[in-house]
Structure formats: structure tokens, C-alpha cells
A and B are shown apart, each in its own frame.
Chain A
Amino acid sequence: MGAAIADVADALAAMGAAIADVADASEARHVDFLYVDANEDTASGGHVALRLGDQTYHFGYHRPGLLFLDREDSDHFERVYTGLENRTIESRRIAVSAETFELLRAGFNERYLTETAEREAIDSIVADRELVERWSSGSPEVDVRAAGYFADREKSVADPPLARLRAAVRARYGNAYAEERIEAATRAIRRLAETPIASGSHVGWHVGWHVDVDYGVAARAADLASEIEAFRVLDAASLLRTGALVPPAASEPDLDARERRSLASYAGRLERELVDLAGSRRPDVGFALLLGMARFLALEESLRTGRLLVLDAYPLPPDVRTLSREEVEAQGGRLDELGASTRSDLERSRVAFSLAEDPREPDWGALEEAANRHREVASAIGSDRPIRIRSERLLPARPARRSLPGEGRIEPSIASAAISRLEREETTRREKLVATYDYDLLTRNCVSEIFVEIDRALEKKAEPDLSSEAREAAVERLAVEHLGGHVPPNRGFEFIPFVAADAVDEELRVDGVEVSYSYRRARVAERTESEGFVAALRESNVLTSTVYRRNVEDSAFLFFTDDAFFARPLFGAVNLVVGVGASAFGLALLPLDRGDTAWAGLRGILWSVPELAFWNVRKGSFFAVPEPEANARPRPESAAADRDRIGSPFS
């Protein structure tokens, strides 16, 4: 562990220096227009995105036919698209002023926040309606997040760790403080039952991308129930429930002296913050207090045992998917590789946390998440149990179901009126959501909306109250001023990703193009360079490739054609035969595999057809990829020229 820590510390120092270099060089800002080449199925048309520093924005298709703005950490975006999806990314770098950068960043980000709030609003209305329905027929139950980490309150031990926190809270706010908070929250819940509809704020729709917050009766009731639970846990100085903590894997070392110091320091700070938090009147105090106390207990237990113990941060089914070892391997994954990768992440996180001077809550969250992910895989390796899969951030929130306090129920007449209004509101919102975010292949897709949003951001610099024509002229002038040119949305074929990339090349102030090659192409290029032609031959097909493992989510094929232009029709013909064979074989397997093989064969035929005409769409995909390596390399030629040489509008 010592050597590993030294290595990781060196790596972190080097990373810091590299980041510093980048930052120095980035005083003049830039934005990157990203063209992501195609892959089979939903990615067949290619994709575009706009990278604004650490954040990348792109429009994605969401069922049942809506187009929303998505935001990713830029490193994560690249890792997902070049790694897991195995697609090459071309970045067109456009130099901009700091003002232009901020204009675009704020424009895209406000739209992202607004869209997110609007989508959450519908969930909020549905939750309100369901709660009012339950409340009118009796005392309803609600899920209290993070309450599921605590043991029943009857269980007690002498001198529990939360007793110190309870004493500090009583000393600052009074001995009866917890009871007072519980009573106040209980009264507030009774008031909600009297006027449930007035407790919602389901009003308004975005006007020029303004964020509206929906804080309806269900969210308010859940917050109040959380507050009650939090003060009960504090007052009882409850313990963690068995199973709340994830124990270390056998291979994990104990805490060293430096880690003990950093954990003790963070636990002390968390304890002080929890005393402050107990005095807060913010609406979401309950969840923050419950999670904070659970984490405090995990820290205390870690210090007591000398081993890193963290809360089990995975959600409960159905919010988490599981995969057996067989399913992982069918997708080309290997648990031992995942275990090594996640162990490396955990080691880095441990060092980073122990070196942090003033760690914030997300720093502990990062360590907690890395420990959860590694231990999940390590446990599956040791026991053959399925692994839980969740790629979103892991925030511990294990819920427990609690009844809302109070004797009464909502009066039937009040409930009926509230339900009717909420149903109307839900219908209206859904209709508006479809009308506002409807996807259209030709006129409203991931390309057109990027340019729409750029124009919208620039328009903020235009004079107000202009006529439509004058505003269009002003936007064009601003685009020339800020970006060197203008690409109007929905012009000609520019709704097609690669045509749009060419338009950016021609119209905007593009300083250079960088390519991040797909994971397979980058690895094959490395191996061909070191091993020669034999490596290229070996990696040309699914059977002998050492980079790619067959993934059941890919169509049936034999040869990769994305890096084989001249052989593409020949390889395509072989792939076509493989597809036909797999389809026929799949028919025989129909009763056994529910048509999976037949479907892969049919898709194999489909994506082989373009290859006959020198086009490549299919590239294969990966279950997991190791830490990102330097795929980026400067482009010697223009992007369009390279694509012509490759010969595919998709690749």
C-alpha cells in the first residue's frame, strides 16, 4: 500500500502540474464543436456536442420521442463515447473571448437547469396526486431517505456515538429542542392535509428559460417526515442498522496513520456542522441531517476499527440493476478487470482524501463511492453473486417507509378538488412538454438545437424589442463578431451531424481539429506500431482480436470495417453472410434465447449493407474500458479531407 500511495501521490502531483499548464494556456478561452462518428442502432447518424470547458452539452433523444439537453463532465463524455461506444470524436476548436465563453456557458447551462426542473415538475405533480389519493383514504406512508441506515430506536447501547452530538445540540438549542422540532413538523403536516393544493407551486411554465421550482405537497410532506425522523434518531442517539456499512474487501489495507488523522479531522468537522445543521430551518434539513449522522457513525466506526467503512450507497431495487457474472462476460466484460480498475480508483481516492487540506462533503462522497464500487465487484468475484450496476453518482439515501403523523385524513371534497386540479395540470404539462421538446429527424434534432441554442445565447447581446428580421440580422452579426461566422439552424443538410461539422469548418473561426480515436482504433494503432502487420491482421476480426471481446449487445459480425476502407466491401460481404447465418441459427435457438441470436443476425445483415458500398457504421462496443489514455492526436489534415479518405459519411 505504501508504494501504491507513493505512486498515486506522484501521479496526482503530475496531474496537478499538467492541469496547471493547461490552465495557464487557457487564458484565452475556446469552445469545442464535437462531431462523434456513428455506430450501429441509435447512433447511426453520428452525433454532435459542444464542449465548454469541463462541461459538455449535447441533445439526446429521450423516449417517447423528445429531445432534451444533456450535460456531462467533459472527461466522462469522452470516456463514454470513445471508450464504451467505441466512436471517434473530432473536436473543432474555436477561440473565443472570456465574455463569449461565459455567454454560451450560461445560456446552455440555464437551459439545462430549466429543462431538468420542467421534467422533475411532472414527477412532482404525479407524486402529489398519488399522495392526496392515499391521504384521502387514510394516513399515508412516505419514503424517508437515509432513514433506512438506522436501527430501530428501541435498540440502545451505553454511550452511543450520537450521544455526544445530542448533548451538543441540547447544549446549544435547549433540552427539549428535538421534541419541539418534531411537534412543529407534525403540525405543519396537519396543515398540509387541510390545504394540500395550496401547498404546491405547480404554476408557470418556462418563459425564456427561467427555472421554476415545483415544491408540491408530496415533497413537502416527505421533507417534514424526514425532519421528524432525523430529530427522533438524534434524540434516541440511534445506531446504524446491520448491513448499513459496506465492509472492506480482503485485499484492502487498514487505515494508515495519515488516513486516520484525516478521517478524525473530517469526523470532527462533520460533528460541528451537524450541530449547526440541527438549528437550520431550511426545508430539506431532515435528509441532510439523517445522512450526515449516518456518515458520522461510519467515520466513527472506521476510526474505532482502523478499517475504512462506508455507507452502502447503492439504491434498492428496482432503482438498481444487477448483472450476473455470465451476463457481464456475455457483454465482453471481466470481473477481475473491473476489480483491478475499481481497486485502483479506490486507492487514488484514499490518497486524495488523506492529502486534502480541507475536504468538502463531495470529497468524502467520492471516497465513499469509490469504496462502494470496488467492494461491489470484489464481493461478486468472491461469491459469484450478481453485481449491482448504476452509473449515476452514488449518494447514500437508503429509505425507510414511515407513516405521516396526524389523526386525520384529507376531507373527501378537498381531496377530490385537489386531485382534479392536479390531473388537469399533469395533462397540460405533458402536452406542453411534447410541444416544446418534440424530436424531429429533419427540423429538431441534436444538431439543429445546438445552433438554436448558440443563437439564443448570442441574442442576449442584441438590443431588446427588435423585429424578427432585425433580430435575425443582429444574431448573425453577433455570431460573426463572437465566433467568426454563423451557422443558421436547419440550413440545407446541416441537420446531419457530419454536414454540420463541415459547416463549422467552413463558417466559424476554427483554429484546429483534434481527434480522439475510438478505443479500439487507438489500441490497434498502438499494437500495429509495436508488433507490425500481424497485429493489424489479428485485430481485424472479432475471433482473434485481443482488444475487442464479443458483446451480445452488438450485432453479429466478423470483420471490423471502420479502419479498413479498401477491404470494406469484401469484409462487408463476409459480415453479411455472418448475419444471415446468425439469423438462421437464431431461428433454431428461438425457444432457448428468446430471439436474441436471430435479432443480432438481422441487425448484422442491416449494418453490413452500407459496408458493401464503402460505408462504415458499425464499430462494436465495450462493456468497460480501462482508465483513459491519450487517444488525442493533432490532425494533419482537415476533418473533411480525412473523412473523404476514409470514405464514409458516418465514420
Chain B
Amino acid sequence: MRVRGNRAMATLAVLALFASACSFSKSSESSSDSSAASSRSLSSSSPDGKSKNEQAYRQDVGDYTASWARSKGDPGDGAEFQKGLARIAERHGVTNWEADRATYLGIGQGLRSAGVAPDDVSAFQSSLGGDSGSGAKLIEEGYADVRS
């Protein structure tokens, strides 16, 4: 413990002299890395057929929806909720998010995670997929998915 304390003190001295204790945030904006950036363009498939990218997208949509549902309750007039959804989708390379089933599954997953009652799911269904459209059914599917 004493050794660790001495090393820590020495480290402190070096830190004070030389620099900061945290990396600059440059891992995501490294200007010199063409090849590392291209590595991100390949998405591998997981065993259940969903790509890593799709899973990450679905999770982001789910977390966003859960956060929205907990703080606001319903999608309101839909525009702001959809705009937020569009921004998240774009980060995953999805611009036509209405045509991507992961969007609706993620919304259902998020509503479940936020503890939204089944009866209140319809507000989001109406706003996004129509009460009886395929989007609405996928929201139900995401909501019902226990693993989600």
C-alpha cells in the first residue's frame, strides 16, 4: 500500500508538471486514420442474424424512447419525438427510419423498459406506425419481447 501511495504521489507530480489525467477526446475524430475509420464500415453479423449495427441502433432507439416516455409520457404532436429519432437513426446510417423494422422494435423495447402500460402504447403506435400498420405491430413485438 505504501508503494502504491508513493507511486501515486510521483504520478501526481508528473501530472502536475506535464499534462492532464484524461485523454483528449480524439478516438472518434482521429484525423489521421483512414483505415481505422474504414474498419467501422464493416458490420459483422451476430448469430441471430441481426448485425451489430442493427442491435446498437435498436438499443439507442429503445433508450431514447424510454427516456422520452419517462419524462413526457406520450409523443405529443410527434414532430419533436420523430426529429430526435431521426437524429439517432442518422448516427447509425439510417435516414429512412420508417422503413427499418429495428426502429419500431426499439420503440416497443423502450416503452416496455420505461414501464409504459400496454394501453398507453397506442399513442406511440398512432404517432409512428398507424394503429394497425406493420409499424404498430412491430412496436407490439418489441414491447412483448422479454429479452428486450
A and B pair up:
yes
A341 touches B35 (CB 8 A): yes
Inter-chain contacts of A282 with B (CB < 8 A):
82, 86, 98
By a CB distance below 8 angstroms, the chain A residues around B66 are 106, 110
Top-6 shortest CB links A-B: A60-B25, A45-B21, A213-B84, A493-B8, A446-B22, A210-B71
> A336 at the A/B interface (Cβ < 8 Å)?
no
Q: Are A361 and B95 in contact (CB under 8 A)?
A: yes
Chain B residues positioned under 8 Å from A392 (CB to CB): 28-29, 37
Binary flags per residue of B16-45, CB closer than 8 Å to A gives 1, else 0: 001111111111111111111111111111
Q: Which residue of B12, B42, B43, B66 has the most chain A CB atoms within 10 A of its CB atom?
A: B42
Tell me if A365 is interfacial: C-beta within 8 Å of chain B: yes
- Select from chain B the residue with minimum beta-carbon distance to A209: B67
Q: Is A342 an interface residue (CB 8 A)?
A: yes
List residues of chain A with CB under 8 Å of any chain B CB: 15-16, 19-20, 23-24, 36, 41-47, 54-55, 58-62, 67-68, 70, 72-73, 75-77, 79-81, 83-85, 105-106, 109-110, 113-114, 117, 120, 201, 207, 209-213, 215, 219, 273, 276-277, 280, 282-284, 287-288, 291-292, 321, 323, 331, 333, 338, 341-342, 345, 348-349, 352, 360-363, 365-366, 369-370, 373-374, 376-377, 387, 389-395, 439, 441, 445-447, 492-493, 495-499, 502, 553, 606-607, 610, 615, 617, 623-628, 644, 649-650
Q: Is the CB of B25 within 8 A of A361?
A: no
CA separation between A553 and B44, bound complex, in Å?
A: 33
Contacts of A113 in B (CB 8 A): 60, 63-64, 67, 88
Q: Which residue of A lies closest to B9 (CB)?
A: A493
For the complex, would chain B's binding face be called helix, strand, loop or mixed by DSSP majority?
helix
Report chain A residues within 8 Å CB of B79. 215, 283
**A497 touching B82, Cβ below 8 Å:** no
Expressed in whole angstroms, the Cα–Cα distance for A106 and B33 within the complex equals 30
Q: Cβ of A23: which chain B residues have Cβ within 8 Å of it? A: 46-47
**Across the interface, which residues of A come within 8 angstroms of B44, CB to CB?**
15-16, 19
Cβ of B80: which chain A residues have Cβ within 8 Å of it? 201, 213, 215
Known: A113-B63, A284-B83. A54 touches B21 (CB 8 A): no
Q: Which residue from chain B places its CB closest to the CB of A553 in the assembled complex?
A: B32
Please measure, in the bound complex, the distance between the C-alpha atom of A180 and the C-alpha atom of B52, giving whole angstroms: 40
Q: Are A373 and B63 in contact (CB under 8 A)?
A: no
**Given the known A-B contacts A84-B33, A360-B54, are A288 and B95 also in contact in the complex, defined by CB atoms under 8 Å?**
yes
**Within 8 Å of chain A (Cβ to Cβ): is B132?**
no
Task: Evaluate whether A60 and B22 lie within 8 angstroms (CB atoms) in the complex, with A79-B39, A331-B32, A391-B37 already known.
Answer: yes
* Choice from B5, B20, B52 contacting A45 with Cβ under 8 Å: B20
Q: How far is the CA of A391 from the CA of B41 in the complex (A)?
A: 11
A389 touches B32 (CB 8 A): yes
Residue of A nearest to B148 (CB): A102
B144 at the interface (CB under 8 A from A): no
Flag if B86 contacts A284 (CB, 8 Å). Answer: yes
Given contacts A23-B47, A72-B27, contact A496 B11 (CB under 8 A): yes
Interface membership of B137, Cβ < 8 A: no
The answer to whether A219 and B83 have CB atoms under 8 Å apart is yes
**Given A366-B42, A624-B35, is A80 in contact with B63 using a C-beta cutoff of 8 Å?**
no
From A83, A276, A606, contact of B18 by CB (8 A): A606
A106-B113, A393-B93 are known contacts; what are 4 more A-B pairs with Cβ within 8 Å?
A72-B27, A76-B39, A79-B36, A207-B71
Q: Are A362 and B32 in contact (CB under 8 A)?
A: no
Residues on the A chain within 8 Å of B102, using CB: 360
CB distance from B145 to the nearest CB of A (A): 13
Name the one of A209, A345, A495 contacting B39, with C-beta atoms under 8 angstroms: A345
25 sampled A-B residue pairs with Cβ under 8 A: A19-B46, A42-B19, A42-B22, A43-B24, A44-B18, A58-B23, A61-B22, A70-B25, A85-B27, A207-B71, A284-B82, A342-B34, A361-B96, A363-B43, A370-B38, A370-B41, A370-B42, A391-B33, A392-B29, A441-B15, A441-B21, A445-B21, A446-B23, A492-B8, A623-B33
Chain A residues whose C-beta falls within 8 Å of the C-beta of B38 in the assembled complex? 341-342, 345, 369-370, 373-374
In the complex, residue of chain B having the shortest beta-carbon distance to the beta carbon of A291 = B95
B41 with A349: CB separation less than 8 A:
yes
Q: In whole Å, how far is B89's beta carbon from the nearest beta carbon of chain A?
A: 9
